Structure 1
Amino acid sequence: MKLPNQRWDIASPNPKKIELLAKEMQVSNLIIKIILNRGVDTSDLARIYLNPNEEILPPPLAEFPDLYKSINLLIIAIEKKHKIAICGDYDADGMTSTSLLLRALKYFGGDVYYKIPNRIKDGYGINKQIVEDFSKNGVKLILTVDNGITAYEPIKRAAELGLNVIITDHHDIPKRLPPADAILNPKLLPNESPYSGLAGVGVAYVLALTLSQTLNKTEGIIASLLELFTLGTIADLAPLTGVNRRWLKQGLKQLPNSQLPGIQALIKVSGISDEQKQLKSDDIGFKLGPRINAVGRIGEPKTAIELLTTDNLEVALEKALECEEINKIRKSLCERIEKEAIDLIENIPLDYQEKRVLIVIQHKWHHGVIGIVASRLVERYGVPVFIGTYEEDDINKIRGSARGIPEFDVFHALQYCDDLLDKFGGHKAAGGFNLKQKNLSFFEKKLSEFAHQYLQLHHIKPLIKIDSAINFKDIDNNLYETLDSLQPWGIGNAIPIFWTPNIIILKQKVIGDNHLKILLAQNDGQQIEAVAWRFGSYYPLPKQLDIAYKLSKNFWNGKNNIQLEIVGIRIPSSMNKEFQSTFEFNGKQYICSIKGNKLKIKNLQGKTLSIDKGKREGLLENGYEKIKTIDVTHQPYYTIVKMALHSLNL
């Protein structure tokens, strides 16, 4: 029997604090437990969490030291009709940032155009060639969005050419800042600032919003800026705390009635139900965002930019359909590369547990989707993943993506290896890198060195963070609606995960693309339906399990029902007790035991045969020494196993 190899972290906040806060805030103990698990541990913080609009925000001009200078540079450029060039990025954050500033600056009368580097030819971020092309085209002011903080040489070149540069970025701060005229980056702010978690599109939103207020031109533009901010922030997996959470709650309510043709068209082609009064973060994270991201990964970013900046509904629908087709190709590429990567990992052991990091490099993988595959491998193996492929025009160069786990900082890991890398960037959870093939073995060794400083063997399992145990009888519309009011869910405000022990599986079947549809029951007879995405490889599940899950609503044929979305399963602790017995065969004594689904049979000479339930092969060991694999359907092992099971009353 195959089950996920997970580690469950079940939260246990102070019971007295739960009772005191629940009484003071007049909400249930369960809701207070969820709030405490998210680091909200005082009544003042709890009030702001429950009602984000009650927080008194400092004005952005008081928080960002270079914001005033940035506004002045933009106003001068607009008034003097100087050319303004936006250099964006090809992910959803970069493309929504670019679209947001294009809309805003054109609305304010700016002469503005944009450039997004080609993922394959140019790589990430602004470069010297882009700067020189801007200069030749008469640009006077460059705005970087979602990039630029590590681009020292390109920004230096811009200064040499007499160009002004405003960097808007949110990636980690390098040792040496570029010589820009102004830098807007939330990583330069104190951690306690409500603006510290902004994504690139959030910085662009602050800049555009402040500019509109300074120019007294807010009418007719603010709503569209908020919607683009909402789309980009959630798609980029930015932390949903501080101003992000406050603004997103408002933006998600606006989106279903968006006046932007591009967002209307995107909602239509993605199949989001017309019945939804407001969108949820999952609607963007799994439906709208991937269609934008796919364009930057394997298509032309201008498709997404045109989609989000057009005011023509027909053009918007045409571009949304293009995004849809590109996303289908992206999904197919991801599935193929993920399968190839898994085959590589499991058929050619890469010993990632010993190294504490998984490094997978292969020819002819698409640069644009390997980051998505890295995330899926992290979900599967629970280990930091560095995945790469060789450049199409130079097999001596590797381009890669990295994804981390909570205890591992990807950006610091790449910094640790910077002497081996041609280029790198990112943040704690994710990053990108380039290196020469000749440095690969040294890179692997150094990454493992770094990982051993922070990771123990028990960390190398997918982590399920659980808020509380609940019973099926507690799950109703009232609980669902209360939880829903705490939206949006995401990084920093994770969707609540619950668990219920000793459930019984009444029905199960594989559906769609490797998913499970399950009917569950507790011992008291309470039943509920569940779905387990990407759990098809564990079919059939044992009849009795502990399950970890989140709550969702299933919209179908005009009806909506609460269902469980299973994220974790394990054998109940009651089934992990070890049972022992003895028996005799051909005049020899044997000791047999069973724990969970593993049967062990030991003779008096110290040799042990271990067999997993349902398997035809067992492992013969002498102490810790593996001797050989045994086919237990052959004699005499078949009879020995049968007698052991009989001895254990199984």
Structure 2
Amino acid sequence: MEDKPPITTEPLLPKQRWYIFPERPEIAQSLSETTGVHPIIAQILINRGIETKEQAEAFLNPQSQTLPEPMEEFPDLPKTVQLLQNAIDNQQKIAICGDYDADGMTSTALLIRAISQLGADITSAIPSRMQEGYGINNRIVEEFHDQGISIIITVDNGISAIAPVARAKELGLTVIITDHHDLPPQLPNADAILNPKLLPKTSPYYGLAGVGVAYILALSLAKLRGEWESLRWQLLELFTLGTIADMAPLNGVNRRWVKRGLKILPESKIAGVQALIQIAGLANQQPNLTNSTTSMKPEDIGFRLGPRINAIGRIGHPQVVIELLTTDHMGTALEQAKECEETNLLRKQLCADIEQEAIAWYENSNINLEQERVLVPCQKKWHHGVIGIVASRLVERYGVPVFICTYEDEENLRGSARGIPEFHVFEALQFCQDLLGKFGGHKAAGGFSLPAANLPKFKQRLSEFAHQCLQVEHLRPLINVDVSINLRDINYKLYDQIDKIQPCGIANSEPVFWTPKLRIVHQKIVGKSHIKLTLSQDLPPEITMAVLPTISAIAWRWADYFPLPSPLDFAYKLRKNTWNNQTAIELEIVGVRLPETFVPLHRRLAEFNYCDRTYKCNITPIGDNWELRIRNQKGEVLAIQPGQKTGLLGISRSEAKTVDISHPFFMKLIEAAQAALGVKLPFLNN
């Protein structure tokens, strides 16, 4: 006898865990009164550790704070500036060695623009991601020497480059390291090292990305040579691009300078940035509705400009971005920006293909993630320039650390890792270091290489490390939720007050709101993998409104969970969406969960409209099977059981006639009923 599908009492939803910050209404009200911010915004500030008027003023107006001078804060900065001053005066050649990510490329472009304008003879090189991997190497050092270079400046790399720096010193070169990565046990024997990790963690400069260190060096040298005013704004643009694209923490000087940089970017004076804004569709965006000035948002860089720059470093040639960001010719800039666009489209396709292959690999495996607590997918022919992005998506999907790798050749693998809050990626790699070749990273992410023969031991060792720090309850993505609000609270006044918290990013996360028991009025798949929704909230009896509030929402890459059941608790961010010159606030869904009063499927009723008619539907158990029943306004019922190509239609079962449910009308009717019930059932074996 053929097995009958079971009645599913809970639908497929993202596996998540929510942490909702405790509400502190008295402190929030006091903070609201003393600062003038909305009480909801005050609660969000409290969640960020800001509880006093003084702390709030420093956060909301970072320009009001007095910063220590960089020349006093960075011990080697005076020496570095003097070395470069002498090199320019003596017409010595200077070379920059950058990195192939957005931070490294913007850092390289920033120093080229600054130091060349200050009169230097300057060149640059970036190692090949495909052939050489990260960081300065002996080949670059020796080529610089052959070109008659006197001074090498590393940007966004070099703090671990003991051998290449030693080789440079053997050849008589001066080496200046500017980097921001964590410090190794032994530092290279460079002439000067600028790295914020050498400063106390309390320093406002501690969170600088590589481009931030380059920015400080360039401005310090410009001040010495009397060119500060002519350089500072164009350099601030590149600092802002690189800092956000590298996901540096947006606190300390990063918050202060990025906030200013976001205001000037829409009117960029750099041809390459103008071209990139134009190609990314950010030009001539509608200004803030309650403000006369435009200001770019961090997500504009994080999701629009940054990926187009990063795509070149991942699968293209970094020189394209260097030329884009250093040229003053608009025609050249547009050509390079178009190449960034085309490369990013290819990068998207590669990511989508690899992600689907990795998902299929996992779902066809017998891996028990509660036992393994780490996922290590590995396939040939995956492009190692994009597997880091795929790793992030797999972490989002499965809630476990992911160490994804691919073959460099028959004998060696290269990989990328992404973690979860309770798991330290770099410490995990250190735990496996006897099995690895090169590796590096930090708490959230890392890169590594290893002999293919070591892969089974590597998986075992990672699982052993994961068991030391991860409990089963950790194996679901964590959603940090700030505060509960009602749909009627969402308006432009609240949205514009969120700007006071901007720029948001690492160390200052964008506010996440939640509303319980929202009903789904409508939902559909848009694009290839997103769910577009209309949501409504039932109001308490004491609130009288002619029309219940509704709002549009988008859930990115959630097609696997379509259709979502109704009602649900929703966690979301607020977004402005402009379409056909109409701007509205919508929700960007980041999490859902079943309300405490969730109704099992076999007890659920729903009403929906189809072809201007109202229908009611429900799921009914029948013996060891079940069926979907759809009732029209005449009392006629369409009854369909899973796997059948026909159904029964009539007022009573004894008088019902058999109908072919593959007919388009019935198929669309069944789809509408399933969406109303929030289920996806196996009719017609589809």
Q: 1:445 to 1:302 in 2, by over 3 A?
A: same
1:66 Cα offset (Å) = 1.1
Superposed CA deviations along residues 340-397 of structure 1, whole A, max 9, x for unmatched, are 0111111113323322211111111001100111111111111111111010xx2211
Cα distance, 1:560 vs structure 2: 0.9
Structure 1 residues 554-576: Cα deviation after superposition (integer angstroms, max 9, x where no partner): 01122210011111111111117
Per-residue CA distance 1:80-110 (angstroms, 9 max, x = gap): 1111110000011100000000000101111
* Range 431-440 or range 250-259, more displaced: 431-440
Contact 1:13–1:36 (8 Å) recurs in 2: no
1:230-379 alignment to 2 at 5 Å? 230-274=240-284, 275-276=286-287, 277-379=294-396
Partner of 1:531: 554
Map of 1:235-634 to 2, 5 A cutoff?
235-274=245-284, 275-276=286-287, 277-391=294-408, 394-524=409-539, 525-575=548-598
Q: Partners of 1:256 and 1:269 in 2: how far apart? A: 13
Show CA shifts across 1:55-86 (max 9, x none): 11111112111111111111111111111110
Q: Distance in 2 between matches of 1:19 and 1:598?
A: 48
Superimposed CA distance per residue, residues 514-573 of structure 1 (whole angstroms, 9 cap, x where no aligned partner): 111111111122111111111122111112111010000001122210011111111111
1:599 and 1:365 map into 2 onto residues whose CA distance is: 47
- 1:192 positional shift: 1.1
Letter in 2 for 1:545: L
Q: For residues 255 and 195 of structure 1, what CA distance do their matches in structure 2 show?
A: 22
Q: Structure 2 counterpart of 1:383, which letter?
A: V
SS, match of residue 359 in structure 1: coil
The answer to whether structure 1 residue 111 and structure 2 residue 121 are counterparts is: yes
Cα distance in 1 for partners of 2:429, 2:599 equals 41
Give the one of 214, 218, 242 matched to 1:204.
214
Mind listing any 5+ residue stretches in structure 1 that lack a counterpart?
Answer: 581-596, 602-608, 615-630, 635-650
Residue 95 of structure 2 contacts residue 151 of structure 2 at CA under 8 Å; is this kept in 1? yes
In 2 relative to 1, CA 531–81 (structure 1 residues): closer, same or farther, beyond 3 Å? same
Distance change >3 Å, CA 32–CA 121, structure 1 → 2:
same
> Counterpart in 2 of 1:67?
77
Give the CA deviation at 1:441: 1.9
List aligned pairs for 1:116-155, cutoff 5 A. Answer: 116-155=126-165
- How far 1:448 moved relative to its partner? 1.7
In structure 2, relative to structure 1, the CA distance for the partners of 1:448 and 1:3 (3 Å cut) is: same
Contact 2:572/2:590, CA 8 A, preserved across alignment: yes
* Paired amino acid for 1:547: F
Write the deviation string for residues 185-243 of structure 1: whole angstroms up to 9, x where unpaired. Answer: 11111111111111111111111111111222113211110000001111111111111
Structure 1 residue aligned with 2:233: 223
RMSD (CA atoms):
2.3
Q: Which amino acid aligns with 1:236?
A: D
Q: Distance in 2 between matches of 1:142 and 1:325?
A: 33
2:531/2:559 contact within 8 Å kept: yes
Letter in 2 for 1:57: L
Residue 228 of structure 2 aligns to a residue whose secondary structure is coil
Per the TM alignment, residue 27 of structure 1 is displaced from its structure 2 partner at its CA by: 2.5
CA distance in 1, matches of 2:595, 2:62: 40
Residue 673 of structure 2 is matched in structure 1 by none
Aligned to 2:652: none
User: Quick one: which amino acid aligns to residue 173 of structure 1?
Assistant: L
Change (3 A) 1:535 1:577: closer
Instruction: Name the SS of the counterpart of 1:95 in structure 2.
Output: helix
Instruction: Identify if the C-alpha distance between structure 1 residues 420 and 287 changes in structure 2 by more than 3 Å, giving closer, same or farther.
Output: same
Letter in 2 for 1:293: N
Partner of 2:182, secondary structure, is coil
- For the residues of structure 2 that align with 1:17 and 1:442, how far apart are their CA atoms? 52
Contact 2:96–2:108 (Cα < 8 Å) also in 1? yes
Q: Determine if contact 2:619/2:627 at 8 Å carries over to the other structure.
A: yes
In structure 1, the residue matched to 2:197 is 187
Deviation at 1:579, TM superposition (A): 11
Give the equivalent residue in structure 2 for 1:637: none
2:173 equivalent among 163, 167, 178 = 163
Residues 627 and 642 in structure 2, CA contact (< 8 A), matched pair in contact too: no
Contact 2:38/2:497 (8 A) holds in 1: no
Task: Report the CA distance between 1:146 and its aligned residue.
Answer: 0.7
- C-alpha distance in 2 between matches for 1:193 and 1:334: 38
Matched residue of 1:213: which SS? helix
Q: 2:433 & 2:621 partners in 1: Cα distance?
A: 49
CA distance, structure 2, for counterparts of residue 187 and residue 598 of structure 1 = 60
Give deviations 1:13-33, integer Å, cap 9, x for gaps: 544433333333232321111
